[in-house]
Structure formats: C-alpha cells, structure tokens
Structure 1
Amino acid sequence: MSDFLTALALVAVIEGLVLALAPLRYQDLLQTLSEMPLTRKRTIGLIIVAFGVVMLWAVRAFVA
C-alpha cells in the first residue's frame, strides 16, 4: 500500500511541476487533446499504461 501511495505522490509532484514550470505548454497540450479523436486518446493511454507496466516490472526485477 505504501508503494501505491508513493506512486500517487510522485504523480502529483510531476503534474504540479509541469503546471508550475510550463503552464502555457500544458494548456497547449490540453487543447491538442481536446481536438484529438477518442480512439487515438485511448490508444495513447494504453501505450502509456503498457510502458508503465514494463518499467515497473524492470525496476522490480533488476533493481530490487
């Protein structure tokens, strides 16, 4: 459970840094996402999830 909460905290830190350091770029990204077709958003989301799973597996298998 602490790993999950740590992951959520890191997501919050990264999101906050993006908003604090590059708010206009973030706004442009949101505009681009709002114009993107739903199927492309889902595909990008699934690719990001798969990348995260592979990264998590690699960290658990080779670092720990």
Structure 2
Amino acid sequence: MLGSLLLALGLMLILEGLMPMVLPRLWKSLFEQMLKMEDGQIRFFGMLMVLAGISVIWFLA
C-alpha cells in the first residue's frame, strides 16, 4: 500500500513539474491569471480537480 502511494506521489510530482520545465512563460502567465481570481473561483477549480482525480481512481480501481 505504501509503495502504491509513493508511486502515485512520484507520478503527481512528474506531471506537476512538466509544465514549468517545458513551458515556463506559459506557466508564469497562468499563475498571474490565478492571482487575479477570487477565492471562490480558485476553490471551485480545486474542487473540480479533486473530483477528476477521484473519478480517475474510481474508474481504474
């Protein structure tokens, strides 16, 4: 179980690091746009990402 969690963490870190590595200007631009968003908008986006992750896990399990 711990091995699976560490594998998932490693894959998440790889995916999170791809955009700043490959497209740093676009990544900075996206962060600048996020800074202009209201807290509720950011929370909604976060909720969508959590639901998408749960959906992927549910379909693969």
TM-score of the two chains, using structure 2 as the length reference: 0.90
Would you identify which runs of 4 or more consecutive aligned residues in structure 1 move more than 3 Å?
A: none
Q: Percent identity, please.
A: 25
Letter in 2 for 1:25: L
SS in 2 for 1:36: coil
Structure 1 residue 12: Cα displacement:
1.2
Aligned twin of 1:38? 39
Unaligned runs of 5+ in 1: none
SS in 1 for 2:54: helix
Residue-by-residue CA offset, 1:27-49 (whole Å, 9 max, x unaligned): 01100111100000001101110
Letter in 1 for 2:27: Y
Distance between the aligned counterparts of 1:27 and 1:15, measured in 2? 14
Aligned twin of 2:60? 59
Structure 1 residue 19: Cα displacement:
1.1
TM-score of the two chains, using structure 1 as the length reference: 0.86
Unaligned runs of 5+ in 2: none
